[in-house]
Structure 1
Amino acid sequence: MNTNSTTKFPVSQLDFSLEIKGNETEIVISSYEDHFMVIATQIGAMGTVLYARKEEGVSINATFNVSVIFGKRDEPMLVACARQLIEHVSVSGSSKPLVLSLGLKDHSAETLKGIISAVIDNRMW
């Protein structure tokens, strides 16, 4: 895994690449003042972009909202990936929302688990 970390005002960024199921996968994690952005691509482009946030309310149990900004709206596994990442952000104590871009050749559960694991291992929250 190749890793490059830069801290530049106002955005801290970490980018690295790894192989997931035979596909070279580039991941960029950026921490903005008001949100996190994760780009994972195997195609050299952004692909489907999702927005995930924790709902603030009076409920005891946390509620999360994930929506597709643009791209594939009929891929529940992409939504599940965003939900797992925003839940991890929330458990870690941050209330920032997440913008997630997935440009993938392979949308299998194994690929998405590999992306989730890589992002959590290199988290910036």
Structure 2
Amino acid sequence: MSVLEQNFPVVQKKLSVDLKGNKTDIIICSYDDHFLVIATQIGTMGTILHARKDADISVHPTFSVSVIFGKRDEPMLVACARQLIEHISLLVCSSSGTSQPLVLSLGLKDHSAETLKGIVSAVTENRLW
């Protein structure tokens, strides 16, 4: 299994963090046209969200986040995706002029603000953008 992971053609990082007593596995992948982040405490994909920066119309950028699959009544999951796309947009746009969209999968036992801040922090510290 580890040989296959070493030869995987997509740039990726894997890490595990402890968030409020829950082991949280995080995988960050950088594709040519988007970023994929999977954060799970339950071993499955969970809720899948899509986040992107809207076209630059004004000085202040706007962002769109939509739930593709899963819990649509969890505003904290949407807030987590929005935080990550804002970080991506800030860093990627300053270097390349464009921002790539984000696909975010959150399979969490705990949807608290503290847990989601921990995920945002872990992903931004280990970013691939």
Give TM-score, length-normalised by structure 2.
0.89
Q: Distance in 2 between matches of 1:114 and 1:58?
A: 32
CA RMSD of aligned residues (A): 1.4
Q: Compare the two structures and name the one with the higher helix fraction.
A: 2
CA offset digits 1:50-105 (Å, max 9, x no partner): 00000013222101000000100000000000000000000002410000000000
Call closer, same or farther: CA 1:60–1:101 in 2, change over 3 Å. Answer: same
Q: Distance in 1 between matches of 2:6 and 2:26?
A: 14
Give TM-score, length-normalised by structure 1.
0.92
Unmatched 5+ stretches in structure 2: 94-98
Q: Compare the two structures and name the one with the higher strand fraction.
A: 1
- Provide the identity percentage: 68
| Structure-1 residue corresponding to 2:79 | 80
| Structure-2 residue corresponding to 1:60 | 59
Q: Distance in 1 between matches of 2:102 and 2:12?
A: 14
Unmatched 5+ stretches in structure 1: none
Q: Distance in 2 between matches of 1:36 and 1:116?
A: 14
| Structure-1 residue corresponding to 2:46 | 47
| Structure-2 residue corresponding to 1:116 | 120
Does 1:104 find its partner at 2:104?
no
CA offset digits 1:18-73 (Å, max 9, x no partner): 11000000000000000000000000000000000000132221010000001000
- Equivalent pairs, count: 120
